[in-house]
Chains A and B, each alone.
Chain A
Amino acid sequence: MAARQSAKLDRKKFFADPVMVITIIVLILFLCLFIVYPLAILLVDSVYVRGTELYSIGEYVTGQGVYYRQDGSVASDSSDAIYAKLTSPDESLADRLVPLYATTGLFAKQAQLRNSEETLYLKVVNATDRTAWLPLNNAETVASTPMTYKQNGRIIKSMEGIEASELCVQLNANTWTAEAFPRIFRDYTFNNALRNTLLLGALTGFGSLLIGLLFAYVDVYVHIRSKIIKKLFDVVSMLPVVSPPFVLSLSMILLFGRSGLITRKLLGIPDSSVYGMWGIVIVQTLTFFPVVYLMLKGLLKNIDPSMEEASRDMGATRWRVFTTVTLPLMLPGLGNAFLVTFIESVADFANPMIIGGSFDTLATTIYLRITGGTYDITGAAAMAVVLLCITLVLFLIQKYVLEAKTAATLTGKASRVRMLIEDKSVRYPLSSMCLVISVFVVLMYVAVPFGALFKLWGRDYSLTFKWFTKMFTEGGWKAFKDSFILSLISSPVTALLSMIISYLVVKRKFRGKAFIEFTSMLAMAVPGTVLGVGFIRGYAGGIFRTGFMQGIYGTGLILVIVFVVRSLPVGTRSGISALRQIDKSIEESAYDLGAGSGKVFTSVTLPLIKDSFFSGLVTTFVRSITAISAVILLVTPRYLLITCRINEYAEKGEFGVACAYATILIMITYAAILLMNWVIRRFGTSRTVNGKESA
């Protein structure tokens, strides 16, 4: 075929629109910097090992070292840059020349080490007693705090009683290695955590699926007379979605723990333990089943009742109809829901942290590797890569295989209204099961404010405000202020960003669109812990450790960025589905009448999807203020975050203060949701949206 001039023309038209070009460039830059880059650096980190080689410095400390020029010749005067030759106790390693400052006098009489930030200095005293601090290595050492070692690799904490000849430093020796993965796969802790994580994901997935299916079935199929019960189901299915992720863990401990209200007080069990796998499974199931419920409800509503009636008509029992018609029809949907919960469960950090006890999952293990005594960043990076692979593979299966299948088996709307089941033998058992679960969930939520109000849970149930007082005197105000402000900043940024992304993805054609769509959705599959580790590795030393953009590390900005990245997929998804319903010719007509893309977006697109924008605002706010997994790795003492405080107090066992924080946090998020619903009802176009989509 003849030359394609349309590509050229389209490009020209595209570049004639500077607003759009700049927006797209900025977007791609943002996604690259804050999603792709941190994840990529994790991959690099797990195969590129930095500085684990030990070298003796004893000779220099005792003043017997010989200094060299860069070419290896012995330096006899001070005219050149001077190098020290360090020998490794490990004989397989070659000697290394380490640059020193050119000094006036040459030979050290005495030497001593000083730690300063990232660089190791060797204090050299020359023959004329002049001292100089010589940086021993230009680059950083492996650990952020440089350390001196004995020849056997032990860290020297005190210089006393150490023979000079034993002194070693650890030098940067960047090498590609395939060692990290085999190492962690030999590591018992990791294997254990991996097994735990997968087991947990599967159990939680099945648990949520069962309860979610039960609720969805009762909602769509069963006639429930009592309005109050229906309302209760609604509330219960919404509560875990809008609450901070660890509230259920807290109340689980309060109700069923060692001094639990139910276990100890009511049942008289003195040493019941909720810590461990079953604790997490129960808490996660209760947290995630509403997501399943909402997904399956949509599916069940789309099943045409006449198919089931046809089966009934041919003589099948209700149970047979369910197993032979309803269930097979929604099988892909069930798989889809299962995977979504699986991913959520695997990525969950807060619940395993609080209620896990010794049951470590990948997310918590990674966190402990970085914050705990064994500072093993390569190992943590490799584990993060494993965790990321798990969630990513599941995410891809869910998104590209099951979602398509679900759409294929259940298309269109049901042709008419379903006859609800009146049969008491079905109605009573099913609805009472739902009722029990609902009451249980409500109980869990009620326990939290009471946990903050009782003097000493388990012993003294008299009311007091001392936990609230303690919370406010111990930095409570600052925590609320910081959390509030950071979330408040990230919320309009995310909402706007996700609307722009949705607009570009749905309405425009350009190169790089697939990248923007995929990357902004990718964040959904990235566990917070993985993202946190990625940000640490990516920005602690600046981009690619060049020091560029290092400034943002440890600031509020990086926290805001993490909030934005974590909420972007949710906002974008809702924006995309809102925009898909809007006729593309509405924007085209504005464009045709003379509006540039910036104007089209602000005067037509945004007003049309303002509901989605509002809900994006609040969703981001709620998600941010309740977020913990990524930020707990990145937060510095400069900022106090509510969620991190709750975690801290819960770890210390001070549940009163933790509950006080959680109570106020729930109030804040609930108020935010109420505000959003009010705004949407008052100013919105049509529907109301309830809360965030996932915990």
Chain B
Amino acid sequence: MATAKQTKGVELKHISKIYKDPKTGKDFYAVHDVDLSIAPGSFVTLLGPSGCGKTTTLRMIAGFESPDEGDIYLGGEPINELTPNKRDTAMVFQSYALFPHYNVFDNVAYGLRLRKVPKAEIQRRVTEILALVELEGMEARMTNQLSGGQQQRVALARALVVEPGVLLFDEPLSNLDAKLRVQMRTEIRRIQQKLGITAIYVTHDQSEAMSISDNIILMKQGVIAQMGSPMEIYYKPNSEFVADFIGECNFLKGRVVQAGNGEASVQIDGTPVTVETDKAVSTGDEGEIVLRPEAIRIADEGLLRCKVELSCFMGSYQNYHVRVGDTLVKITDNCPINKKIFNVGDTAYISFDKACAHLL
């Protein structure tokens, strides 16, 4: 691919969007005070459950919606007042939104023709981009003769070919089957890396978000819940919501009995458990330890005593539900073949590295 036009950073300064609730007639914030800065060339995902304002945020960047508060900058320029067709963005839609009356070539060439690009160059650029998305030779196909994955590639090519300052994705993979989804997200990541283009990606699928992004912005009810790299968000969630939304999670409640040196000791089921924390906690605080199921070991000996309530072979792992005190803890014990399998009703012990646990 030819050297892409310089890609642009995006800045949202205290963006809010107010909608009217159709039932109660009351105004509410669909997006509230979202303030973030996206570096040029990075891949950022807006993640969250439905209704969290992620798509609204994306549509505000594209220009389909206007923010009620705040300003949006694209490459340092304020774009609040620009209509979508005047913004240097290109969007890949959930439904692909291909033009059904055009063939693949014309679909991809649409944006270039609007920009009055010379014919020969259109030909060259469309061919290049179709090669990039691995659709060579499909130029003359009508869009309804393509599979879902191919349609998705055409939509991607159509957005890429105009070399936008920023590429927007609105849940682009949700209409594909699970296997294809995994394949396509790797593709998207590969192409984005190759072109070095800024991408903002909206999804509600946390595994998609983790696998594809440089940074994840997790949203909840219009507010940013947490921003950070996938690993930060996974291992250092700042709230129960974040922890629970990103992957499976166990919460162990207890009272802090000792704190200091980036560590804290929490009394759980009568046993003091030491975990790392970057929070300022002091003795006597109520604390909650976040534990990922795969970070827990189950054995005849260990830290906390537990009773097995469910034991289920899942192929790559053994799935346990155990009871620690009153709390249900889920454990995935990987590669169980050489390990002892505990049965329902057995008593066992769990343990974990203090680096794998995180105190809320």
Contacts and interface: CB of A to CB of B under 8 A. Distances in A.
Partners in one complex: yes
Interface string B180-199: 00000000000000000000
B151 to A, nearest CB: 12
Contact of B114 (A2, A16, A17, A593): A593
B85 A586 contact: no
Interface stretch (A4-12, A330-338, A643-651): A4-12
B124 interface: no
Contact of A583 (B27, B85, B95): B95
Contacts of B80: 5, 9
A484 to B, nearest CB: 32
Interface in B23-53: 27, 29
Contacts of A585: 93-95, 97
B66 interface: yes
A8 to B, nearest CB: 8
B16 A13 contact: no
Contacts of B62: 592
Nearest to A599: B114
Interface string B93-132: 1110111110000000011001100000000000000000
Interface residues of B, number: 40
Nearest to A593: B111
A9 B65 CA distance: 9
A464 B269 CA distance: 110
A5 B91 contact: no
A596 interface: yes
Contacts of B84: 588, 591-592
Question: Of residues B17, B67, B85, B94, which shows the largest number of chain A Cβ atoms within 10 Å of its Cβ?
Answer: B85
A596 B86 CA distance: 9
A3 to B, nearest CB: 7
A607 interface: yes
Contacts of A596: 85
B29 to A, nearest CB: 8
A596 to B, nearest CB: 6
Contacts of A13: 63, 66, 81-83
A6 B67 contact: yes
A: interface residue count bin: 20 to 34
Interface in B234-271: none
B313 interface: no
A608 interface: yes
Given A583-B97, A585-B93, A585-B95, A2 B85 contact: no
A1 interface: yes
Main secondary structure of the interface of A (DSSP, over half): helix
B162 A5 contact: no
A489 to B, nearest CB: 28
A604 B101 CA distance: 8
Question: Of residues A9, A17, A595, A604, which shows the largest number of chain B Cβ atoms within 10 Å of its Cβ?
Answer: A9
Contacts of B82: 13, 16
A607 B101 CA distance: 7
B86 A16 contact: yes
Given A594-B111, A608-B100, A9 B66 contact: yes
A16 B83 contact: yes
Question: Of residues B95, B110, B162, which shows the largest number of chain A Cβ atoms within 10 Å of its Cβ?
Answer: B110
A603 to B, nearest CB: 8
Contact of A592 (B16, B17, B85): B85
Nearest to B88: A594
A5 B67 contact: yes
Contacts of B69: 2-3, 5
A421 interface: no
A589 interface: yes
B18 A594 contact: no
Interface in A587-622: 588-596, 599, 603-604, 607-608
B158 interface: yes
Question: Of residues A3, A589, A590, which shows the largest number of chain B Cβ atoms within 10 Å of its Cβ?
Answer: A589
A7 B159 CA distance: 29
B308 interface: no
Interface in A655-695: 685
B278 interface: no
B90 interface: yes
Given A9-B67, A9-B80, A592 B90 contact: yes
A4 B68 contact: yes
A304 B16 CA distance: 46
Interface string A302-345: 00000000000000000000000000000000000000000000
Question: Of residues A7, A586, A599, which shows the largest number of chain B Cβ atoms within 10 Å of its Cβ?
Answer: A586
B67 A588 contact: no
A594 B83 contact: no
B83 A17 contact: yes
Given A3-B68, A6-B68, A592-B63, 19 more contacts: A3-B69, A4-B68, A5-B68, A6-B17, A9-B67, A9-B81, A16-B81, A583-B95, A585-B93, A586-B98, A588-B84, A588-B97, A589-B91, A591-B83, A592-B62, A592-B85, A592-B90, A593-B158, A594-B115
Interface of B: 16-18, 27, 29, 62-69, 80-87, 89-91, 93-95, 97-101, 110-111, 114-115, 155, 158-159, 162
20 contacts: A1-B18, A1-B68, A2-B16, A2-B69, A4-B18, A9-B66, A10-B66, A585-B95, A586-B100, A588-B84, A588-B97, A589-B91, A593-B85, A593-B114, A593-B159, A594-B86, A594-B111, A594-B162, A595-B110, A603-B110
